[in-house]
């Protein structure tokens, strides 16, 4: 088959790779229907996360089950399935508590490389969720969004304790931030402030349910949020970037007693314990347990209650994956959808 390999900074290639096969009896093999490029793929692409050897890329996927191992009980060949970026058994105490991304047997799907025609999924019964039927083509982008960015935005909003009557601020206008806006809307937030300085992203944030846009960043961004909340700060803040500035902006935009949900993969962020001490906020985040939310998200998408697939503003054939990375790196695209 053909798949995506990252060789080094800004050197991504679509080339021949071995066909995936059943390695463990709990595996499934998918024929990929759609995959995409993640904001977190840009860290190694930009060389911020060093690439030491040719690395398969891609951890977001939907597809048709082609083959299952002898111990797979619930997933069947022919089903259309959505999986998360961590494979999980969904049975251990951590999974049972809803933290499948930290399953005692968690396997990173990025290691398998989903930006390809075919994909091996370990722990298929615990990882994959089948749709009620084969989806119409127009639902595929939204189902693919559920695999990572929607599930991650959803967890960010849940971790920030978003709920009816609350004022929510979202730091970051990438696909995850935009999906956090959508999640906050679904969770009944009263006011949703999207922090964005890009016009196309502001538009989508408003469409997803944002009530206000703040273009300022850093100290000025914090001051704007305070101005809008009688000097108190937001009840709930979702951090969806992962830089020092965005993390501090999120913490400082949150009122005492409020909640920060941080879901941007952090690089080089250092927090002062004294700042945390005086912040008096709840901090919860990490790799989103997307599997926890998949049944609910698939249901909302299937019944056309939400349309998170709108975060994809560039669609390319898989073999043009390198252009998909370039477009996101240069901020010409929010998120690239890849079709085999
Ligand atoms: Zn588990």
- Averaged pLDDT in 10-residue chunks for the chain of 340 residues: 96 96 98 96 92 95 98 98 97 98 97 97 98 98 98 98 98 97 98 96 97 96 98 98 94 98 91 92 97 98 98 97 97 95
Ligand 1: centre distance to CA 86 (Å)? 10
Determine what percent of the chain falls in helix, strand and coil, rounding each to the nearest 5.
35, 25, 40
* Helical packing angle, 175-186 and 199-208, nearest 10°: 20
Ligand 1: centre distance to CA 260 (Å)? 25
Ligand 1: centre distance to CA 173 (Å)? 31
Residue 49: per-residue pLDDT: 86
- What distance in Å separates the CA atoms of residue 256 and residue 277, rounded to the nearest whole number? 11
- Cβ atoms of 44 and 58 within 8 Å: the answer is no
- Cβ atoms of 253 and 223 within 8 Å: the answer is no
Span 151-205, pLDDT tens digits: 999 999 999 999 999 999 999 999 999 999 999 999 999 999 999 999 999 999 9
φ, ψ for residue 200, nearest 5 deg: -65, -35
Percent of the chain residues topping a pLDDT of 70: 100
Pairing of strands 191-195, 167-171: parallel
Could you tell me the pTM of the whole model? 0.96
Residue 243: per-residue pLDDT: 92
- What distance in Å separates the CA atoms of residue 256 and residue 241, rounded to the nearest whole number? 22
Specify the 3-state DSSP secondary structure of 276: helix
Ligand 1: centre distance to CA 123 (Å)? 10
Span 104-120, pLDDT tens digits: 999 999 999 999 999 99
Residue 33: per-residue pLDDT: 98
Residue 12: per-residue pLDDT: 97
Specify the 3-state DSSP secondary structure of 15: strand
Ligand 1: centre distance to CA 93 (Å)? 7
- What distance in Å separates the CA atoms of residue 148 and residue 141, rounded to the nearest whole number? 12
Ligand 1: centre distance to CA 96 (Å)? 7
Specify the 3-state DSSP secondary structure of 27: coil
């Amino acid at each position: 088959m053909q798949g995506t390999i990252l060789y080094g900074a800004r050197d991504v290639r679509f080339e021949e790779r071995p066909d995936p096969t059943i390695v463990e009896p709990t595996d499934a093999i998918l024929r990929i229907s759609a995959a995409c490029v993640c904001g977190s793929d840009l860290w190694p692409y930009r060389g911020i996360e060093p690439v030491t050897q040719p690395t398969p890329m891609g951890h977001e996927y939907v597809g048709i089950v082609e083959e299952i191992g002898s111990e797979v009980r619930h997933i069947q060949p022919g089903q259309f399935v959505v999986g998360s970026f961590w494979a999980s058994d969904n049975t251990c105490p951590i999974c049972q508590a809803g933290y499948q991304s930290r399953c005692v047997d968690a396997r990173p799907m990025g290691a398998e490389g989903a930006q390809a025609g075919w994909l091996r999924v370990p722990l298929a019964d615990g990882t994959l969720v089948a749709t009620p039927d084969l989806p119409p083509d127009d639902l595929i982008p939204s189902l693919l969004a559920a695999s990572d960015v929607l599930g991650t935005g959803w967890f960010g909003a849940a971790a920030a304790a978003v709920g009816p009557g609350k004022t929510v601020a979202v730091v970051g206008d990438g696909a995850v931030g935009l999906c956090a806006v959508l999640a906050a809307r679904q969770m009944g937030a009263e006011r949703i402030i999207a922090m964005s300085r890009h016009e196309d992203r502001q538009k989508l944030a408003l469409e997803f349910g944002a009530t206000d846009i703040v273009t300022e960043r850093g100290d000025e961004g914090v001051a704007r949020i305070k101005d809008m909340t009688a000097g108190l700060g937001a009840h709930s803040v979702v951090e969806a970037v992962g830089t020092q500035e965005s993390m501090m902006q999120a913490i400082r935009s949150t009122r005492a007693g409020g909640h920060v949900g941080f879901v941007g993969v952090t690089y080089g962020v250092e927090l002062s314990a004294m700042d945390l001490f005086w912040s008096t906020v709840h901090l919860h985040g990490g790799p989103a347990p997307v599997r926890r939310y998949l049944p609910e998200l698939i249901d909302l998408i299937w019944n056309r209650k939400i349309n998170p697939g709108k975060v994809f503003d560039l669609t390319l054939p898989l073999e043009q994956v390198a252009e998909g990375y370039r477009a996101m790196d240069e901020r010409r695209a929010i998120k690239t959808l890849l079709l085999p």
